[in-house]
Amino acid sequence: MSFQTGLQSVALSDVGMRRTTNQDSQTLVVADTADIYRDRGHFFMVADGMGAHAAGELASKLAVEGVPHLYFKHREFSPPEALQRAIQETNTEINRRGMANPDFHNMGTTASILLLLPQGALAAHIGDSRIYRLRGDTIHQLTFDHSLQWELKAAGQLPEGTDLAAVVPKNVITRSLGPNPTVQIDLEGPHPIQQGDVYLLCSDGLTGRVEDAELGAILASVPPAEAAQSLIDLANLRGGPDNCTVIIARVVGPEAATGADSGQPLRMGGSHSARTVHPAVWIVAGVCLLAAIILAMLGLLIPAGVALAAAALAGIFGAVQRFQGPTGGTELGRGHMLGRGPYTSAVCPPSTELAQSLAGTLDELRDAAREGDWTINWQPLDESCRAAVQATHAKKFSEAIRHYCRGISYVMKELRSQTNRRASDSAVKY
């Protein structure tokens, strides 16, 4: 289907290097029919749970199950209002579950949701997980971090470069889904979608270790499936102290861009009451249905079929008139946008500096593997590095970054398999 072939998407989550459980959750729902795409779009979500015991894991799981289910259920609302309601109702359920069990008290989760709609990209956000858009050689953060650092900066109380910036922890968040009966939701957009745009949703396990410019250059240079793995591997190589979740959506064709299928305008604050349909519509439908039954009983099958078709058409017309969606309210787009994003921008062309940085990371990784006496076949890595050096000399920096990322992922895969084998060999056997 054209609206699907215009989009590539991938989701990947990893426990990290220092955690024993993964409290991140993610989901993506790519529309499988043209009608669903026009009505609800493609749905992507990342949630980073928090709480003792299994509370954070449960909170994020409830979020990624509840929000999309309720969003697609609320078909009578325009997408931004349906999404807002779905998040609020899911928050109520997470809060109820937390209050009912002392082990889950105050459990919560971040929630970052992206809708790719015919009318544009719409984001909803709570917490410090992030949504980015790469366009050309610039990466834009479309969401505002609900963290103490960002809130203080926005209030003018934390100037960049001051000592206070180093004192205030980055991971103290000011909003989350679940701890309170109500939640404040940020809605952003709709931002026009262009062919070539790349969208990234991620938990702070990634952004705490990989800079925005690095994110953008890797997204620009590496296909989505490989990029997701490379970003997680890079975060893990730099310590991997937290769970790391990545969703990437790349707009590869005009079919998924804004303007290819305009759809109905997005609205906020419209009327959602069912409309009154003229009684004549239902009378015609009833008369035609009764005529179809009588004609069928008389053996006049062709006239009966015609009457039945007329009854069905009248019924459909009445249903459309009654439930044709919200009216009034504020029409979004055309200069009226929700939120104030993008909130940050970084120019991130693939460069020799990033290529050299990745080369240095690989050298460190190679040294660590040798010191750890790992048994690794170095040939694939050597081939990747040689190809990367040749590309760098030719000033083909995207190609060089791609080869270095493949080398990093290869060695990380080898190291993980080594760890698993050693753990298996050291297990007590009966």
Which is higher by pLDDT, 16 or 308? 16
Determine the pLDDT at residue 119.
Answer: 92
> Both 111 and 180 in a single domain?
yes
Which is higher by pLDDT, 161 or 285? 285
CA-wise closest residue to 13 among 27, 1, 2, 3:
27
Which is higher by pLDDT, 364 or 31? 31
The answer on pLDDT for 196 being more than 60 is: yes
Which is higher by pLDDT, 374 or 42? 42
Determine the pLDDT at residue 171.
Answer: 80
> Both 360 and 250 in a single domain?
no
Cβ-count burial of 271 within 10 angstroms (0-12 exposed, 13-18 middle, 19+ buried)? exposed
Question: What's the one-letter identity of residue 109?
Answer: T
β-strand partners of 200: 132, 248
> Both 374 and 312 in a single domain?
no
> Both 253 and 281 in a single domain?
no
Which is higher by pLDDT, 201 or 316? 201
The answer on pLDDT for 426 being more than 60 is: no
Radius of gyration of the chain (CA): 26
Mean pLDDT of 182-191: 96
The answer on pLDDT for 327 being more than 60 is: no
Mean pLDDT of 99-108: 93
SS3 category, 110: coil
Where residue 45 sits, what CATH number does that domain have?
Answer: 3.60.40.10
Mean pLDDT of 192-209: 96
- Evaluate whether 350 touches 401 at the Cβ level (below 8 Å): yes
CA-wise closest residue to 26 among 187, 239, 150, 206:
206
Tell me which H or E stretch contains 109.
strand 108-109
Place of tokens 């120019």: 347
SS3 category, 191: strand
The number of folded domains in the chain is 3
The answer on pLDDT for 428 being more than 50 is: no
Mean pLDDT of 209-218: 97
> Both 290 and 393 in a single domain?
no
**Total-model pTM:** 0.84
Q: Does 214 reside within a domain?
A: yes
Q: Does 168 reside within a domain?
A: yes
CA-wise closest residue to 41 among 32, 52, 50:
32
In 370-425, DSSP assigns E strands to none
Cβ-count burial of 375 within 10 angstroms (0-12 exposed, 13-18 middle, 19+ buried)? exposed
The answer on pLDDT for 299 being more than 60 is: yes
pLDDT-derived band at 267 (thresholds 50, 70, 90) equals: confident
Q: Which residues contact 141 (CB under 8 A, 6 or more apart)?
A: 130, 131, 132, 212, 341, 342, 343, 344, 345
Q: Which domain holds residue 73?
A: 2-257
Determine the pLDDT at residue 430.
Answer: 32
pLDDT-derived band at 319 (thresholds 50, 70, 90) equals: low
DSSP label at residue 327: B
Which is higher by pLDDT, 430 or 104? 104
Determine the pLDDT at residue 316.
Answer: 74
Among the residue ranges 27-41, 80-94, 251-265, 309-323, the one predicted with the least confidence is 309-323
How many Å apart are CA 149 and CA 207, to the nearest integer?
15
Q: Does 38 reside within a domain?
A: yes
The answer on pLDDT for 203 being more than 60 is: yes
> Both 293 and 235 in a single domain?
no
SS3 category, 259: coil
Alpha helices in 143-300 (DSSP H): 148-154, 163-167, 204-207, 212-221, 224-237, 279-297
Q: Does 340 reside within a domain?
A: no
pLDDT-derived band at 1 (thresholds 50, 70, 90) equals: very low
Q: Does 179 reside within a domain?
A: yes
> Both 118 and 56 in a single domain?
yes
- Count CB-CB contacts under 10 A for residue 300: 14
Domain boundary among 257, 284, 304: 257
β-strand partners of 371: none
Mean pLDDT of 47-63: 93
The answer on pLDDT for 132 being more than 80 is: yes
Q: Does 217 reside within a domain?
A: yes
> Both 286 and 410 in a single domain?
no
Domain boundary among 257, 286, 314: 257
> Both 242 and 280 in a single domain?
no
Mean pLDDT of 202-221: 97
Largest pairwise CA distance in the chain: 91
Q: Does 346 reside within a domain?
A: no
pLDDT in tens, 344-392: 999 999 999 999 999 998 988 888 878 877 888 889 999 999 999 999 9
How many Å apart are CA 243 and CA 235, to the nearest integer?
10
> Both 245 and 362 in a single domain?
no
pLDDT in tens, 230-264: 999 999 989 899 999 999 999 999 988 987 666 67
Q: Does 394 reside within a domain?
A: yes
Token pair recorded at residue 237: 């190589």
pLDDT-derived band at 177 (thresholds 50, 70, 90) equals: very high
CA-wise closest residue to 256 among 358, 85, 143, 120:
120
Residues of the chain above pLDDT 90, percent: 61
Please, what is the average pLDDT of the chain? 88
Determine the pLDDT at residue 421.
Answer: 55
> Both 68 and 116 in a single domain?
yes
Determine the pLDDT at residue 422.
Answer: 53
Among the residue ranges 272-286, 290-304, 388-402, the one predicted with the least confidence is 272-286
> Both 246 and 378 in a single domain?
no
